[in-house]
Structure 1
Amino acid sequence: MHLDRYLSKYAGLSRKSILRLLNLGKIKVDEQVTLSRDHPVNDFSKIHIEGKLLNLHKPARYFLMNKPAGILSATTDPQHTTAIELIAETEREDLHIAGRLDRATTGLLILTNDGKWSRHITEPKQKVPKTYRVETVYAISPQTANLFSKGIYFAYENMTTSPAEIEILSPTSCRLTIYEGRYHQIKRMFAATGNRVKNLHRESVGEIKLDSALRPGDYRALSQAEIDSIWRTKPEKGE
């Protein structure tokens, strides 16, 4: 199997992330740095990603974290503290993040070593809902709900977002549910309405909800019911 397909299937990485890591020389196959996404690999290949061995034979682990502001959604970083570093050393090996949050964004973050499961969360075609509490700089315009329900066109990707659901909580705050996880998606959606996001906090992914008692920086293992709930989210017909 080609390296990019293998990492997409088993490590929960998007093709874009794989290309970035390859270009940075962050992927090794059998102790050798490779720059080719077509490098042939199999289950006996020894693959390191950013210095960490991809091990497919360890028990699957699933964690929910209340991510604080200022923490980077990454495995390693030379300058900033990463979410992985908040996990106990005995538990963090091989973990990756299933749906990253911006450094300033807070709330529900999922970490796992199950690539197939995490891909179900992050693939836009699966339509797994992600709900955020949003605070804006300016009052939310009356047209926002209608615009979001139709989808916002992103010229860079040449695509339109899936219809989003908004619940107005105050003139400058709302609860927003989206069904993808595009780059800076919510900030770009509000920018398209002439507004700016001041604070962003993720409350839920699918049926998995952030515990109100879980303090920023704390985490817990997901229950089996929470893990299984992700598989119940199916793409709409025709997707």
Structure 2
Amino acid sequence: MRLDKYLCETADLTRSLAKRAVRREEVRVDGEVVKDPSTHVDETSDVNWLGQSLVLTGPRYLMMNKPTGVECTSHSSHYPTLHDLIDLPNAERLHPAGRLDVETTGLVFLTDDGQWSHRVTSPRHASAKVYRATLAEPVEGRAAEKAMQSFADGLLLKGDSKPTRPAELHMLTPRDARLTIHEGKYHQVRRMFAAIGNRVETLHRESIGPVQLDPGLAPGECRMLRPDEIQCF
């Protein structure tokens, strides 16, 4: 990796500022001042800028148990963000691979690997997402059968031109549902229940693809994904 790119990745500098820092002789590599921004460095290099040792991070893959009242955005003026809950260097470089709205809880992946994130969220891969929903109105008997069939057939949501992909709805109790979807439309689960005349009161994502939310994670906690979990996508 070029030295100026390394500085961009580790010191959050623009490319022009990184080049300027090198030319001002502010950067040392393995103890020696380096003046050429194109100098090759790697993870074994000891890079120091203005007395600060720089460490290359990434790619990183995390799962979080997102609590309610937290936004999956980089900047927010109303609610805390996922980054406020992460105690890692350069946490701002991590982005959610599939978002949840502010009131929805449960599994969120965060990564700085754009290609992996795309595989998780791409409609082509159709990763199954499982949600647990508490409904405002009970759904039972023939109404439950009709709802499950409607979800399986696909629903045309307000504002959309195409119906949703087939989804699997299971009523665990008259007001407690588990729903598996294979896409990620805007507020999709809430809109699907609205389409059958109901309202979601609480919503929790249990899994994405074969990866389930770690039951040991309290709301707001995160952990690194294991290699086998990363390789699921």
What TM-score comes out, normalization by structure 2 length? 0.72
Match of 2:215 in 1: 212
Give the 3-state SS of the residue equivalent to 2:148 in structure 1.
helix
Q: How does 1:88-107 map to 2 (within 5 A)?
A: 88-107=87-106
Matched residue, 1:34 = none
Helix, strand or coil for the counterpart of 1:71?
coil
Amino acid at match of 1:147: S
1:162 to 156, 161, 165: 165
Pairing 1:41-80 to 2, within 5 Å after superposition: 58-80=57-79
Superposed displacement of residue 59, structure 1: 2.5
Q: How many angstroms apart in 2 are the aligned matches of 1:145 and 1:112? A: 34
Query: Amino acid of the residue matched to residue 180 of structure 1?
Result: E
Question: How many residues are paired up?
Answer: 179
Compute the TM-score of the two structures, normalised by the length of structure 1.
Answer: 0.71
Match of 1:191 in 2: 194
Residue 114 of structure 1: aligned partner: 113
Q: Could you tell me how far 1:58 is from its partner in structure 2?
A: 4.6
- Distance apart, 1:181 and its partner CA: 1.0
Instruction: Supply the distance in 2 between the matched residues of 1:151 and 1:29 (Cα, whole angstroms).
Output: 48
Counterpart residue number, 1:151: 154
d(CA) in 1 for partners of 2:90 and 2:227? 18
Other-structure match for 1:235: none
Distance in 2, Cα, partners of 1:104 & 1:155: 21
AA aligned opposite 1:61: R
- Deviation per CA, 1:204-228: give whole Å up to 9, x if none: 0001111112100000000010000
- Please identify runs of 4+ aligned residues in structure 1 that moved more than 2 A: 28-31
Tell me the distance in 2 between the aligned counterparts of 1:93 and 1:188.
31
Amino acid corresponding to residue 225 of structure 1 in structure 2: D
- Percent of residue pairs bearing the same amino acid type: 41
> In the aligned structure 2, how far is the partner of 1:93 from the partner of 1:198?
31
Q: Aligned pair 1:135/2:134, yes or no? A: yes
Q: What secondary structure, in the 3-state scheme, does the structure 2 residue paired with 1:158 have?
A: coil
Code of the aligned partner of 2:97: A
